[in-house]
Structure 1
């Protein structure tokens, strides 16, 4: 398999050298739809942003432009939730798709896309095994078979480890491909900081200079700035009453910053435990500050009331673009940051039981 990955990359790079132009030219046909608006989009600040559009002419469309380095783009149609996802580089790229099966489009002319297709193929067996495990788990839950559920969870964790190992091997064997940077950036979520550094340093210089390499470096630098032992960055967001509230106003106290949202199932399941912890430690001078990644104020306020979250709350209602969440490098919730009386970060991402232990250490 390793030799196959290397061979695919070599062929792709050769193809690029023969097909390289100063701009990209995307030509495509959508069978099953003759007319309508077509959009070319890409992800910017966690949102899918339309950057160009055209009209289908007898099922055909065309886009031209330039990219500094290969990037993942999307072709979208009006009234269609699915999109064609592919890597654009400055070459002549042909796209053939069925309007009812946009995710199965065939893309020719992008060497980076060829590498990504190879990566997807390498991940298929993991997806199939995961789907089978999910069905087994649901059946066990229906039967209230806790032992079986626990066993499946253990298997799922092992499968995830295998999947991660396979992804790392693919990246190592294709370290000159921009796709390696894309895969690596996605793998960083939940990874320890030293492992992120190791992954980034394994990439070729051209990949480090790409959009995804730059994003990796920025994230690593950000996480280093809010690592344990660093001063907690101050931020100011509005309370439910639209009153600005700053983290710095709690200086001198032990503070638990709790990043959560009304739409986050794991957050809501953790909230009762956080309520109990708050009751135990608040009278000892410990403050909680809830930072919501909601975008609907009414749902945010309802969750606060329904879950009995009596501590201070703030939000800018910007979802994953929350200024505070970005400042602290939050990529998953629930997430907690424990700050001591001197404003220094002493622990991160602890659940209520572990959090209680660390708080008690600070209270001694």
Structure 2
């Protein structure tokens, strides 16, 4: 038994040493005013595409206001940093954390203040690039102002001042409308990407995050401009593999075969809709779905008798039903034009078309979601009578479907 234990410990040690020998070493250090000894910075590994997260490492602050960490990773990596104070709550803002990318040999730095830790300034590694630094600083500064409105909303609600909370809610929702700062950030972003056509870890991660709803022509053009080094990198290979998957379901291509099990136990397949227009609608409890659902139902009632079928896909009908039960009568969402939230949810729970759930014992439903690279809500796939994909995107695809049907059948 003792020998077996010693052997196991040896294997674990050998595995760690092996990773260190062949992995990428890096360091992260930071000066964040306001963080204190005992606070934790948790780094989650983000797997692209898909944004699946997994625990990577923790940094426990040992000295007030500063930290340093030496680590090893298997390959270039995209991380999300979250802040967990030893006492009290983390500052409220509109970000889930701080995103950053790290390559082997990088010495990443982070500078900022505790209340705006998710908007801190990054340095070292790819962030040494002056053009990237200027763009990100402008973006973080702008978003920090918007994020402060979230704190003001929470403070006002806690004080029972719902009028002030509503005012800041309106400011938050319209923050980027005609905002000169937003225009500057967009310009700086475009300038940086236009000057970095050869590709790097930052641009690759940004591209991959949006690949599933980027036209294949754009993806091909980007890939053709990548340097050999970029193509051979970890994320370069991820990009190429995903590009091929996107191409298979691009506009004009034949839709792949699929089978879905609906909530009533019936099954549907692509062949069952031959000769008809089919709109696959991925919906859920999100602002986009709450806003657009009524228009999808209008489209269905207008064209169902003339050759349109709709299939809904959602994660869990039961979860939305639970929210409906908890919603008070008369609750409204003015920013979405919803006067009666409970009635809106009731309408969504009683769609005139069949719905399928992803969180069920039917793996074929998840396979359909993966096959069409459905990556959020609301997401649409519009298939023509000949089985060819006519549109595939977020709300833009719904607009295209509406236009095609109006041109075909009239309004």
Q: Distance in 1 between matches of 2:207 and 2:258?
A: 30
Name the SS for the 1:262 alignment partner. Answer: coil
Q: 1:289 to 1:165 in 2, by over 3 A?
A: same
2:194 matched to which residue of 1? Answer: 172
Residue deviations 1:107-142 (CA, integer Å, cap 9, x gap): 44x3212234233146579879999xxxxxxxxxx9
What RMSD over aligned residues (CA atoms) do the two structures have, in Å? Answer: 4.1
Task: Report the more deviating stretch, 173-182 or 298-307.
Answer: 298-307
Q: Distance in 2 between matches of 1:39 and 1:124?
A: 20
Residue deviations 1:288-347 (CA, integer Å, cap 9, x gap): 11122x4563316966742452111112049xx954343223345434333234433244
Name the SS for the 2:115 alignment partner. Answer: coil
Structure 2 residues not aligned, in runs of 5+: 1-22, 148-166, 168-175, 325-343
Q: 1:245 to 1:304 in 2, by over 3 A?
A: farther
Q: Does 1:57 align with 2:62?
A: yes
Q: 1:218 to 1:359 in 2, by over 3 A?
A: farther
Q: 1:288 to 1:187 in 2, by over 3 A?
A: closer
8 Å contact 2:257–2:271 — kept in the other structure?
no
1:298 matched to which residue of 2? Answer: 319
2:389 matched to which residue of 1? Answer: 345
Q: 1:346 to 1:88 in 2, by over 3 A?
A: closer
Structure 1 residues not aligned, in runs of 5+: 1-20, 132-141, 143-151
Q: Distance in 2 between matches of 1:106 and 1:337?
A: 39
1:148 matched to which residue of 2? Answer: none
Q: Does 1:43 align with 2:46?
A: yes
2:341 matched to which residue of 1? Answer: none
1:101 matched to which residue of 2? Answer: 116
8 Å contact 1:258–1:334 — kept in the other structure?
no
Q: 1:355 to 1:95 in 2, by over 3 A?
A: same
Aligned pairs for 1:204-223 (under 5 A) are 204-223=227-246
Q: Distance in 2 between matches of 1:258 and 1:284?
A: 17
1:282 matched to which residue of 2? Answer: 304
Q: Distance in 2 between matches of 1:217 and 1:75?
A: 27
Task: Tell me the CA shift for residue 283 of structure 1.
Answer: 3.1
Q: Does 1:66 align with 2:88?
A: no
Within the candidate set 76, 81, 84, 1:75 is matched to 81
Task: Tell me the CA shift for residue 236 of structure 1.
Answer: 3.7
Give the TM-score of the pair, scaled to structure 1: 0.68
Within the candidate set 192, 195, 214, 2:218 is matched to 195
Q: Does 1:111 align with 2:125?
A: yes
Within the candidate set 70, 89, 110, 2:103 is matched to 89
Task: Tell me the CA shift for residue 225 of structure 1.
Answer: 0.8
1:271 matched to which residue of 2? Answer: 293
8 Å contact 1:25–1:90 — kept in the other structure?
no
1:316 matched to which residue of 2? Answer: 358
Q: 1:227 to 1:90 in 2, by over 3 A?
A: closer
Task: Tell me the CA shift for residue 84 of structure 1.
Answer: 4.0
Give the TM-score of the pair, scaled to structure 2: 0.61
2:35 matched to which residue of 1? Answer: 32
Residue deviations 1:166-191 (CA, integer Å, cap 9, x gap): 53431232335322323434565754
Within the candidate set 249, 253, 272, 1:250 is matched to 272
